[in-house]
Structure 1
Amino acid sequence: MKKVLFATSALVAFAGAASAEVAVSGDARIGMRYDSDLCANAACTTTDSAWNVVNRARVKFTMTGTSDSGLEFGAEVRAEEAQRARYGSQFSIDETDGTIVNTYAIRNGLSADKGIVWVSGTYGKLTAGDIDSGMENALGDLPEIGMSGLDYLNEFGYSSSDFDDSLYSEAGLLYEYSINGVKLFASFMDQNIGYSAIDRDNNAYSLGAKYEMAGYEFGIGYEKSDFYIDPVTFAGIPYENTSWGISAATVFNEVKVKGIYVTSTVKDIPTLTGDLDVDQFGVGAEYKMANGVGLAGYWRRVAYDTPADEFTADIVGVGASYDLGGGATVKGGVVNVSGDDALGSSLSDRTMADFGLVFKF
């Protein structure tokens, strides 16, 4: 595939070596997706299987610059984020107990929908916007499966990170610093809904470190959040929680293997008359052949421990891809979810699958 990039590069020279540049890139996908258990009514008392068309096209603007003193800075925004930043976003929530009742239009939009901005220098890099938390940067996630991500269940639940893109798209701050082969991360998220009068008095803090040595990569992280994100349903509950986790990765005969473990404690949930303990663990593998064929798979288990009972959920995903060259890739995958959620409600035996083309411009 021949790619034509309409990029605007504005190289502006001031005193010294100061410069700025704006580049345009994009991505797109087209294909089909299958779901075995979609809600067939508003109460979701019955489910049905269905095929759906998947398509998406995004344009991304990346702006970079350097000051006279050597300070590097930049910003990145997608076209739809620029529109929301100007005209605002819309969400529904009740002010008292979180029940969806009223719809509010936020004039200035949700802050993570306004792209990301960063500055970088001798003492590290600071990024604001739709960031991954310090803990997620250190531990990471398992391989993504499918053309559309298939609900991105390869991703572990990080309450200090997933709040921004799973619920209210709130922005965070991420600080990164590298020294002697160790990458350090620290993040903060205010978990406040845009600039509206409706405030959620919740914060999230996260720390992480990553170290590479002799072909091995190790990560460790800690987070504290006032709002917990369930790692299977990605629903949120407003209770204080703390988590810590570790990860390890390496490559055997061109197969990249990774394992992650995260444990969390959610404090004083009234409906459970006590704490909720959640353990997440999983392994994943990726293999890319010289002929352009790629294979990937993962297994995740989430174990819930309440004062009254224990529940588990298992997630398995397998996928394949073929690089057509020039930025085009054929991708497909299958993901199965089974078991129970945090309250013991059955997740059924849900299967998702997709197949299609992914493009990079």
Structure 2
Amino acid sequence: MKKVLFATSALVMTAGVAAAEVAVSGDGRMGMIYDGNDVQFSSRARVKFTLTGESDAGLSFGGAFRVDQESDYTAGNGATERSAARGTAGSVWISGTYGKLSMGDVVSASEAAIGDLYEIGYTDGEFSGDIEELWFLTGDGENEDQGPSILYEYTINNISLFASASDGSDNRQCGVGAVVGYDATCNVAGDDVESDTAYSVAAKYEGSNFWASLSYSKWGDASEIGLGAEGSFNNFAVKGVYLSYEDRFFGLDEMKYTAGLGASYQMDAILVEGFWRQDKYDLFGGDSEKFDAFGIGAEYDLGGGAVLAGGIIDSDYLEDTVADMGIKFSF
């Protein structure tokens, strides 16, 4: 990815900071989306800032956020949405001999060790509501009303260890001008799960052409056990994921598990990827129901940061088949 450096050499700082840099990059896309009924034009452009530095003692530090994430903005219901300025979008980090600590809108330890299924299409799955993204119990958009989360990562030889947590403090913004902090008018009557600390721990082993992960997450009464593995063989790669839940409710329905399988094939400039996903619920009233999603997509690298891509996804959640095709860019 091409980067334009605001600081081409270094911005010399005081108080023991050796050097710092600010780099700007971006992405864009243009194409068409079929939503099951109509074909629509779709395009966007985004700019991202990446800040990095290193102290005289050898500590590395940095942060990253998109321009659209920088400042607070107020939604139509009067609530203040996520922003880098409040630590609920973007992230900052520091790393050294004893690992890396990140804070902000960071993924959970479970997601850091396991990851999502393969993204397809020129919108990277957005045309289907990002169904390839697994619904981990903590982190990466979950527990966001508690403000920033933390993620710690440490690697020794072939083993990586992860730990993440929220702070258990409900910091929801209630209307224009609300201050950060507890406000009883923001809380749900009765037990407020937003005030429970959410945490996750995970371990990952990486071999020469495979990795395997195990994780555990907890938020209030809900818990999650995650298993993931991926192997590559010549031009092929295969990934499997299984997440088992206890006491995780969406409304009155209890989510029991998510299972997923992905496969990809890379040949020169051509990449073909696909995935299958299944979620099981115990519905209110005693019945069970499974929701499946299938997707396949292809990309052709045009060089210079331009990629021609398209995908098709059939999902029980959408109750329809959707597709996209277009060109995506990285700058």
Q: TM-score range by the shorter chain?
A: 0.7 to 0.9
Distance change in 2, residues 1:252/1:331 (3 Å)? same
Q: Note the 1:93-112 alignment, pairs <5 A.
A: 102-105=77-80, 111-112=86-87
What are the superposed Cα offsets for residues 2-33 of structure 1, whole Å, 9 maximum, x if unpaired?
x9754212513468881111111111111111
Q: Which aligned runs of 4 or more in structure 1 are off by greater than 4 angstroms? A: 13-17, 105-110, 167-170, 267-272
The alpha-carbon deviation at position 304 of structure 1 amounts to 1.5
The alpha-carbon deviation at position 212 of structure 1 amounts to 0.8
1:144 maps to which residue? 119
Classify the secondary structure of the residue corresponding to 1:156: coil
Residue ranges of structure 1 left out of the alignment (5+ in a row): 37-48, 93-101, 227-239, 339-346
Q: Pick one of 300, 309, 316 that aligns with 2:287.
A: 309
Is 1:350 matched up with 2:320?
yes
1:66 maps to which residue? 54
148-157 or 183-192, larger mean C-alpha shift: 183-192
- Which whole-Å CA distance do the structure 1 matches of 2:82 and 2:211 have between them? 44
What are the superposed Cα offsets for residues 118-171 of structure 1, whole Å, 9 maximum, x if unpaired?
000111101111211100111111110111123211111102024349x76953
The alpha-carbon deviation at position 104 of structure 1 amounts to 3.0
What are the superposed Cα offsets for residues 321-355 of structure 1, whole Å, 9 maximum, x if unpaired?
000000000011011112xxxxxxxx463212110
The alpha-carbon deviation at position 203 of structure 1 amounts to 2.8
Q: Note the 1:188-267 alignment, pairs <5 A.
A: 188-190=165-167, 192-193=171-172, 195=180, 197=183, 198=186, 200-226=194-220, 240-266=221-247
Task: Give the letter aligned to residue 330 of structure 2.
Answer: K
Conservation of the 8 A alpha-carbon contact between 2:82 and 2:88 = no
Task: Give the letter aligned to residue 324 of structure 2.
Answer: D
- Which whole-Å CA distance do the structure 2 matches of 1:144 and 1:183 have between them? 24
2:31 maps to which residue? 31
Distance change in 2, residues 1:32/1:202 (3 Å)? farther
Task: Give the letter aligned to residue 57 of structure 1.
Answer: A
The alpha-carbon deviation at position 179 of structure 1 amounts to 1.1
What are the superposed Cα offsets for residues 282-326 of structure 1, whole Å, 9 maximum, x if unpaired?
110111111x11100000111123471110000000000000000
Question: CA RMSD of the aligned region, Å?
Answer: 2.7
2:190 maps to which residue? none
* Percent of aligned pairs sharing the same letter: 38
Distance change in 2, residues 1:170/1:35 (3 Å)? farther
2:309 maps to which residue? 331
What are the superposed Cα offsets for residues 78-118 of structure 1, whole Å, 9 maximum, x if unpaired?
11122x2xxx22246xxxxxxxxx52347988734552110
Classify the secondary structure of the residue corresponding to 2:35: strand
- Which whole-Å CA distance do the structure 2 matches of 1:108 and 1:171 have between them? 10
- Report how many aligned residue pairs link the two structures: 308
Alignment TM-score, normalising by the size of structure 2: 0.84
Classify the secondary structure of the residue corresponding to 1:104: coil
1:7 maps to which residue? 5
- Which whole-Å CA distance do the structure 1 matches of 2:85 and 2:6 have between them? 28
Conservation of the 8 A alpha-carbon contact between 1:112 and 1:169 = no
Classify the secondary structure of the residue corresponding to 1:152: coil
Task: Give the letter aligned to residue 210 of structure 1.
Answer: K
